[in-house]
Structure 1
Amino acid sequence: MILKNLLTVSVFTAFMFAASAFIQKDEIKTTSKDTASDNNGFAVLELFTSEGCSSCPPADDLMGQIQKEYKDQQVYILSYHVDYWNRLGWKDRFSSAENSQRQQAYSRLLKSQTYTPQLVINGKTEFVGSDRNAIENAIQKTIPDSKNASINLSAAVSQKAITVSFKTTQADSQSKLLINLVEKKSSTQVNGGENEGHRLQHWQIVHKQEQISLKDHPEGTVNLTLPENFSPDNWEIIGFIQNPKTGTISGVSRAIIQ
């Protein structure tokens, strides 16, 4: 009877040890998967702003702060200067009709008003561009919830142009690759409009955006005109994949201009 009980205890102990090892192994695999997912997540912040808008400088400053605070994370900032403020006393030298049209497209998709400063994250949600708490909470939620599609980008400069090479495995035939020529930092002395007398600082200014259909061109090159007073250390290329019908951004990458 004693031997039988000892055998029973031994079998039970062995079973519990095996079960414990299995649970621990499963927990390790899950943690590793979650960590990899976190590292692969991203947040694309698109700010719509204007030098003619008195509410915009705080949002511009916030983009500079976020750029610094999240420099080691997959956070990408794109500032689009809209042109509909230009008629109110000051013409924003960074503004364009294309930027205003992009914002209007988001307004239709997200069923939101068109206003400045407005910020859109990953093409899905929008906030007032100076609302730090809302934006940082959205960044912390968006990065773990997103998965970055592969985009290989490189950029080489010549005397007249920047040649951007791209390649992606994105299979969605409706998606487009948007390649952006971005000036990292600049400032303007404003002499009219709501911000008259102020020197405004700007970060991550989009100067040019090229849209490429991935259905026909999953890889290739694009030539961008070299901007005036170009300095490689103050410019970069940011490319992201977006479905224009839903607004969803599924991948993003950055290239240093060499």
Structure 2
Amino acid sequence: MKKNAVLAYFLAFIACISTAYAEAKSVVVVELFTSQGCSACPPADALLQDLAEKPHVLALAFHVDYWDYIGWKDTFAQPVFTQRQKTYAKRLGRKHVYTPQMIINGHHDVIGSHAMEIGEILSDESKEPQAAMIESLAKEGEISLLIKNSDNSRPTPQSEILVIRFRAASQVEIKKGENKGRTLSYSNIVTSVSKIGNWRGTGTWKASYASSGTDKVAIIVQGKNQGRIYGSAILP
């Protein structure tokens, strides 16, 4: 793609998602499945960097390990992230996993570098009221959570409550593989995913847990078996 075409592509993407934020009613969760060893991934990584700066998007990078055999072992990859992608593939009717892939709000599957399509999905999803409202309070090394129904939402199925820890940013010098010789920048790099409870979809759910480390923390309310995402928040 020529330089001018690339510029036009990204400007159109920015315009599309800017319109979405003006009408946003909820935070949209974007999960990028990526790899340092994938030559097609840097454009998607750059898109995620841009999305990570947007107020109504929770952008998360899950690094997978199935490209490590090419010659470069991804420094952020974990088998559990590969399994998360495989679970999505099975539920969404895909026979194979691939990179770069974005899953939006747990139920939209799109190639991670297709900026315009991503922008359109974000626009649509952001207009839907968030079904699960998440409130948090941090005090003396402990975080208290309260999850309840949104006043404007429809009843939701039983869901899982996930704690996702992520690193804000990092640069990696790639010494082998398809991206050999490049120094690549990454944002919102997921380091762990933990289930802390279940929400029955109505009423309120309360819990507290210890806060530790320097990673950022997000809470996601997601339908069982990695279903639709009904609510999310980045904790202070």
Query: Is the structural similarity TM-score above 0.5?
Result: yes
CA distance in 2, matches of 1:66, 1:203: 9
CA distance in 2, matches of 1:62, 1:164: 31
- In structure 2, relative to structure 1, the CA distance for the partners of 1:64 and 1:206 (3 Å cut) is same
Q: Which amino acid aligns with 2:148?
A: T
**Does 2:195 correspond to 1:211?**
yes
Q: Residue deviations 1:99-132, cap 9 Å, x none?
A: 0000000001111231000000001111000110
- 57, 68, 74: which one pairs with 1:92? 74
**Does 2:148 correspond to 1:169?**
yes
DSSP-derived class of the 1:145 partner: coil
Aligned residues: 205
DSSP-derived class of the 2:235 partner: strand
Q: Which amino acid aligns with 1:252?
A: S
Structure 1 residue ranges (4+ consecutive) displaced by more than 3 angstroms after TM superposition: 154-158, 170-173, 222-225
CA distance in 1, matches of 2:72, 2:140: 33
Asked if the contact 2:88–2:226 (Cα under 8 Å) also holds between the matched residues in 1, the reply is: no
Higher helix proportion: 1
**Does 2:64 correspond to 1:82?**
yes
Asked if the contact 2:218–2:233 (Cα under 8 Å) also holds between the matched residues in 1, the reply is: yes
Once the two structures are overlaid, the 10-residue window that deviates more, 138-147 or 187-196, is 138-147
The equivalent residue for 1:122 is 105
The equivalent residue for 2:220 is 240
Q: Give the RMSD, CA atoms, in angstroms.
A: 2.3
Q: Max radius of gyration: which structure?
A: 1
Asked if the contact 2:27–2:233 (Cα under 8 Å) also holds between the matched residues in 1, the reply is: no
Higher strand proportion: 2
CA distance in 2, matches of 1:157, 1:111: 45
Asked if the contact 2:157–2:223 (Cα under 8 Å) also holds between the matched residues in 1, the reply is: no
DSSP-derived class of the 1:105 partner: helix
Q: Residue deviations 1:5-27, cap 9 Å, x none?
A: xxxxxxxxxxxxxxxxxxxxxxx
Runs of at least 5 residues in structure 1 that lack an aligned partner in the other structure = 1-37
Q: TM (normalized to structure 2)?
A: 0.79
Asked if the contact 1:81–1:94 (Cα under 8 Å) also holds between the matched residues in 2, the reply is: yes
The equivalent residue for 1:194 is 178
CA distance in 2, matches of 1:197, 1:144: 42
Q: TM (normalized to structure 1)?
A: 0.72
Q: Residue deviations 1:21-55, cap 9 Å, x none?
A: xxxxxxxxxxxxxxxxx553231100000101111
The equivalent residue for 1:56 is 41
CA distance in 2, matches of 1:164, 1:89: 41
- Give, in angstroms, the shift of residue 154 of structure 1: 4.1
